[in-house]
Amino acid sequence: MVSPERLLADLVPPRHFAEARFATYRADPAHPSQAAALDRLSELARQVVAPRAGGLRALLARRQAPPAVYLDGGFGVGKTHLLTSLAHAVTEQAGPGVVSVGTFVEYTNLVGALGFLPTVEALATRRLVCIDEFELDDPGDTVLMSRLLRELADRGVALAATSNTLPDALGEGRFAAEDFLREIQALAARFEVLRVDGEDYRHRAVVTEPEPLAAATVREAAHEHPGAVLDAFDDLLGHLGTVHPSRYGAMLDGVELLALTDVHPVHQQEVALRLVVLVDRLYDRDVPVLLGGAAGGEGQDLFTPEMLAGGYRKKYYRALSRLGALAEEGRRLAAADV
């Protein structure tokens, strides 16, 4: 069981983005919206850290909604880089403990561990709360997050979020309940939408297009690297089903390389969604991955065509993009051992 204290302590920019700063974001001139988003977030950082007024000015300020921005764009256009750059900028100017950064899932897990009101009290001490990859796995989570953000905004906490669809289109094609759509609309009204156009800088649509690594290569590389963990793909998938997703990050403590043998397409949606969460945690921690294909493995897609066309397709494509980058690094490490 991961303690509530650990969950709160983990709400910081992930290791992959530890060095992300506005100055290191390379806006593509072909997509002016990238530079525009960069400028707006730089301005937002200054707004968040500005000295808070006292007296009548403070009373008037509380009546104004705190800033809330929503970065919308495709995969690999730098939304998380921008989000964590904002978090770093505010922290560097206002000091530690004033910003929380986490994924949608991490915040819902926090509410599950602490309870709703204690979570509000804990996060209300922040000046800025950042939510990466705002998702809709079920209506309950959406209502929960909508209420949480409203409570924080009412207490003067600035908000910043990312996703791959506009706020008022979240859940489109997945749920149709009138009350659920009303919740989405209420949440959408809180945010200033910043579009971030561009190409996926990771340039990975799928991760298994190259010939899969031989099992012997995977095992040898795992043996050579300290901190490597070697697993059969099916064993890993089975284990994920026994661990709550909130623990996937802690499960990777000390793991420097994940080596998998007998990798094959995943056909069950609940299994695929667990794998998506694991890939996100691997990517956060910059853990390279070795993907060894099944002997005579048929099919090059990790997720089925039905999954890639379904309601969770954005999750799957994000996972493929991120896993592709980690697998490329894994191949580089394996090649260095030859």
The pTM for the full model equals: 0.76
Residue 207 in domain: no
Residue 206 maps to a domain: no
Query: Which residue, of 145, 168, 196, is where some domain finishes?
Result: 196
Q: Are residues 162 and 304 in the same domain?
A: no
The verdict on 239 and 148 lying in the same domain is no
Residue 203 lies in a domain: no
∠ Cα 213 218 224 (to 5°): 140
| Confidence (pLDDT) at 23 | 97
Residues 52 and 179 in one domain: yes
Question: What is the model's pLDDT at position 17?
Answer: 93
Query: Are 173 and 239 members of one domain?
Result: no
CATH number at residue 153: 3.40.50.300
pLDDT recorded at residue 316: 87
Specify if 62 maps to a domain. Answer: yes
Check whether residue 171 and residue 221 sit in a common domain.
no
**Same domain (yes/no): 179, 126:** yes
Q: In this structure, is residue 299 part of a structural domain?
A: yes
Residues 17 and 125 in one domain: yes
Domain count for the chain: 2
pLDDT at position 204, please? Answer: 46
- In angstroms, rounded to a whole number, what is the distance separating the alpha carbons of residues 56 and 279? 49
**Residue 201 placed within a domain:** no
Shared-domain flag, residues 98 and 160: yes
Name the residue range of residue 167's domain: 4-196
User: Helices 215-224 and 313-336 meet at what angle, rounded to 10?
Assistant: 70
Does 24 lie in the same domain as 167? yes
Residues 288, 258 share a domain: yes
Residue 243, domain member (yes or no): yes
**Domain stop point among 131, 164, 196:** 196
Q: Could you give the CA distance from residue 14 to residue 276 in angstroms, rounded to a whole number?
A: 17
Last-in-domain residue among 135, 166, 196: 196
Q: Are residues 152 and 266 in the same domain?
A: no
Residue 171 domain flag = yes
Assess whether 191 and 221 both reside in one domain.
Answer: no
pLDDT string in tens for the chain (338-residue length) = 667 788 888 899 988 899 999 999 999 999 999 999 999 999 999 999 987 655 555 555 555 779 999 888 877 789 999 999 999 999 999 999 999 999 988 898 889 888 999 999 999 999 999 999 887 666 788 889 989 999 999 999 999 998 765 555 555 544 434 555 566 677 777 888 898 888 776 554 445 455 678 889 999 999 999 999 999 999 999 999 999 888 898 899 999 999 999 999 999 999 999 999 999 999 999 999 999 975 433 334 789 999 988 878 878 888 888 898 899 899 988 887 65
